[in-house]
Structure 1
Amino acid sequence: MPVVDYQRRIADLLVPTPVESLPVADCLGLALAADLTAPIPLPPFDNSAMDGYAVRSVDVAGASEQSPVLLPVPEDLPAGRVQNPPLQPGTAHRIMTGAQVPPGADAVVPVERTDGGVSEVRVRASAAPGAHIRRAGEDVRTGATVLTRGTSLTPAQLGVAAAVGTEKLPVHRPPRVLVLSTGSELVAPGEPLQPGQIYESNGLMLAAAVREAGAHARLLRFVPDDVNAFHAVLAPELDSTDLILTSGGVSAGAYEVVKDALTGNGVDFMKVAMQPGMPQGSGRYRGGPAVVSLPGNPVSAMVSFEVFVRPALRAAAGHLRTRREIRSATITEELRAPAGKRQYRRARFDPATTTVTPRGGPGSHLLSAMAGSNCLIEIPESTQLIPEGSTVDVWLTD
């Protein structure tokens, strides 16, 4: 199956998650489910941009270091003061940053341009009308769209939502992913290894990738290589899971428990025209949660996640930007690829020079090369040779 067709298949498996209303503080990284419009302007009132004195510009016209203007100071206006006494001609109100500009004032003189007086002040500089005043609605007007649907909410965006008085936001619930680790050869890190055993890493790696994509991950490690035990592990998890993500046990070997357990239960296994990551499985487990079964070699599993699962999770969670950023880069060495397969090679992209250098060979077991990479070079199915100095597309993964 071509890569693009299998991408579409996985995308169709994951439906949009429900919308829920959450406190703004709990929405970091989630996708906004509806446009947010401002019920108030920002700033909500004219306020001072400086600590200083609210004045009428005509009263300080011509003021200078040599000829200061002396004005009485009848009021102090700290930020947050609700009462806002008008400014009378020939006076100044001492004002703090963020405080309301009083009626009658049309400028603020910074305290640095005065003697800092409390009962009266010597103003040593003139001020043009509007000087150091933030106007109501200067940032956001009432009714303006502050945030658009599909926005992946950042700290600054949560800040502006709170600034216009928003208590809760409608957001898509993150997809709930059950990550299964299977294989009798697997041992927990920290335990002694016996001959023929390896430390389990795929489950931890994929669970971390799920979280980085913005979904919730629950990792079940060391599921036995037994079909009945496999089904027993899944049974209590089905109602709280949107996606079951497995790695390993999908090839043509004699002990492929994932394939044996899921075949006939709504999951199909096939070959995808890519390297690494050719053997794949997907479907719905007994008509319930979506299932994606990735290859067991760690690089194959991680590349398959990037190509198929991550964009589908992002789309299901309501994010408009679902794919990694793609950049053009000049490759620093020759690469060869198999005919008829789309290849993804680990590499290091240098943004300063827009060059990319492959890391490690095409082997799907070379995890350290993946760990030292920050991108994937995508090589089309029709390309078998990329000469040094050619321009290639790279997916920025870091």
Structure 2
Amino acid sequence: MAEATTPIAAIAQDLACHGDADLPLAAVQAALARLALPVAGTETLPLKDALGRVLAADLVSPLDVPAQDNSAMDGYSFAGAALAADGATVLPVAGKALAGHGFDGPAPADACIRIMTGAPLPAGHDSVVPQELVTVAEGRVTIPAGAVRAGQHCRRRGEDLRQGGVAVPAGRRLRASDLGLAASLGQPVLTVRRRPRIAFFSTGDELTAPGEPLPPGGIYDSNHTTLGALLAGLGVDAVDLGRVRDDPQALAAALQAGSDCDALVSTGGVSVGDADHTRRVLAAAGEVLFWRMALRPGRPMAIGRLHGGALYFGLPGNPVAAVVCFQVLVRDALLRLAGATPRPLPTVVARAAVALKKRPGRSEFQRGVLSRAADGDWEVAPTGDQGSGMLSSMSRADGLIVLAHERGPVAAGERVEVLPFDSLG
């Protein structure tokens, strides 16, 4: 279990400055950034199993990269001082250097060496001319005037990484390029954080599992599937607690079942409806805060910490609101719990294809479809009705149009930020 962070009561006190007003998104994000510390525990994995895992300690380079000066081109190496001050330079060919098979001994200062890309530079040579720029006849190479400068087309020892330098920082969620870099340093294994265990469940008497007969007044449960997929995308160890009825005892049992996890995430039961028991059940199970946020979609949310230390995130029950709250709030908290350093997500700046309704005083994330306009610029159009229960609009969209707290209506042609769903993987 991760070490406890800032007490929930301290976060509540700091947010009290907003009074009874709905909380700005930035304030909620800052509060959640204080909530989670990385889980304890590491494991050592072979490179092939480390993709997507979080590096537990800096990967320090055990060697200089490159390990020696080498050629960046197929061509001929020579001493830069041998270049003629004006006119062509003519040098005899004194040998050959291949990648993995360098030239044996120091090279003559008044001759060149046939060299391949990656081959070590012969001692005394500091320049390379590409083969396509020279002419070769009777064992001699002619370098035209101005074809190359002294010192050109060479990779210098340690120019990529110095021995003892940080190659990959701790907290990096490892990508294919990171694993390739580790391999290039001769590292067969990496030490990573253990995966945090995240329990999840959906709540509501109206929910029916896909594939089961739908009773009168029932709806098929989309949140449970969506939440499981979102957690899978983060690479955590997801613990499925199923669907929980609108019953205090059932909710208390679910919280108890997930209490040995690092965090629990649920959907539904965080408003003030008669059947929403989360408030009093969580009060008995640990510390809890219920927030009304200046956010659309996704106004209600609960956060807490159970007595055993597990964090709790209660998302809205409306499907789109649940997804948005997870992506813009819970995602980074869970990444911190995993030991990762959350990075700002890349966005696309696009023209609004049509006018967008928006009132100042709340952050909005509207579903949008990106396309290239005739002039090559990005353009974004909303998917239509932005109701928080319309999950089909999320499926049609390929990103969220990000409209900041203070922004008002957007005129057609104005530029807006779009968060592509592909950025959230």
Amino acid at match of 2:403: E
What's the counterpart of residue 223 of structure 2?
202
Give the 3-state SS of the residue equivalent to 1:137 in structure 2: coil
Matches of residues 278-293 of structure 1 in structure 2 within 5 Å? Answer: 278-293=299-314
What's the counterpart of residue 383 of structure 2?
359
Amino acid at match of 1:367: L
Amino acid at match of 1:361: D
**Residues 147 and 198 of structure 1: CA distance in aligned 2, closer, same or farther (over 3 Å):** same
Give the 3-state SS of the residue equivalent to 2:34 in structure 1: helix
Amino acid at match of 1:271: R
Cα offsets for 1:242-292 (capped at 9, x unmatched): 210000123333443555643422234443343322232221123420111
- Post-superposition shift, 1:294? 0.9
Query: How many pairs align?
Result: 387
What's the counterpart of residue 284 of structure 2?
264
Q: Is the counterpart of residue 141 in structure 1 residue 166 in structure 2? A: no
Amino acid at match of 2:38: P
Q: 1:307, 1:36 → 2: CA distance?
A: 30
What's the counterpart of residue 139 of structure 2?
122
Matches of residues 51-200 of structure 1 in structure 2 within 5 Å? Answer: 51=74, 77-81=97-101, 84-87=104-107, 95-103=115-123, 105=125, 122-126=139-143, 130=151, 132-148=153-169, 150-166=171-187, 169=190, 171-200=192-221
Tell me, yes or no, if the aligned pair for 2:201 and 2:265 is still in contact at 8 Å.
yes
Tell me, yes or no, if the aligned pair for 1:186 and 1:200 is still in contact at 8 Å.
yes
Q: 1:370, 1:309 → 2: CA distance?
A: 18
Cα offsets for 1:163-193 (capped at 9, x unmatched): 3444555655454321213334333334454
Q: TM-score, normalised by structure 1?
A: 0.76
Match of 1:2 among 23, 29, 32: 23
- Post-superposition shift, 1:358? 2.4
Q: 2:32, 2:129 → 1: CA distance?
A: 62
Amino acid at match of 2:365: Y
What's the counterpart of residue 9 of structure 2?
none
Give the 3-state SS of the residue equivalent to 1:365 in structure 2: coil
Cα offsets for 1:20-72 (capped at 9, x unmatched): 364472444455555555442221012233456666789999xxxxx997757
Tell me, yes or no, if the aligned pair for 2:77 and 2:127 is still in contact at 8 Å.
yes
What's the counterpart of residue 417 of structure 2?
394
What's the counterpart of residue 36 of structure 2?
14
Amino acid at match of 2:382: P
- Post-superposition shift, 1:99? 3.0
Q: Is the counterpart of residue 378 in structure 1 residue 400 in structure 2? A: no
**Residues 192 and 306 of structure 1: CA distance in aligned 2, closer, same or farther (over 3 Å):** same
Q: Is the counterpart of residue 306 in structure 1 residue 322 in structure 2? A: no
Cα offsets for 1:74-128 (capped at 9, x unmatched): xx65433489445468987665432333435555676776889xxxx83443487
Cα offsets for 1:221-255 (capped at 9, x unmatched): 3345544344444445432x221000012333344
Q: 1:95, 1:334 → 2: CA distance?
A: 61
- Post-superposition shift, 1:19? 6.6
Tell me, yes or no, if the aligned pair for 2:93 and 2:141 is still in contact at 8 Å.
no
**Residues 13 and 148 of structure 1: CA distance in aligned 2, closer, same or farther (over 3 Å):** closer
Unaligned runs of 5+ in 2: 1-21
- Post-superposition shift, 1:307? 2.7
What's the counterpart of residue 369 of structure 1?
393
Q: 2:216, 2:151 → 1: CA distance?
A: 79
Q: 2:40, 2:402 → 1: CA distance?
A: 35
Tell me, yes or no, if the aligned pair for 2:43 and 2:194 is still in contact at 8 Å.
no
Give the 3-state SS of the residue equivalent to 2:158 in structure 1: coil
**Residues 11 and 107 of structure 1: CA distance in aligned 2, closer, same or farther (over 3 Å):** closer
Give the 3-state SS of the residue equivalent to 2:159 in structure 1: coil
Shifted more, 77-86 versus 269-278: the winner is 77-86
Q: Percent identity?
A: 36
Matches of residues 294-333 of structure 1 in structure 2 within 5 Å? Answer: 294-325=315-346, 330-333=351-354
Give the 3-state SS of the residue equivalent to 1:207 in structure 2: helix
**Residues 87 and 216 of structure 1: CA distance in aligned 2, closer, same or farther (over 3 Å):** same
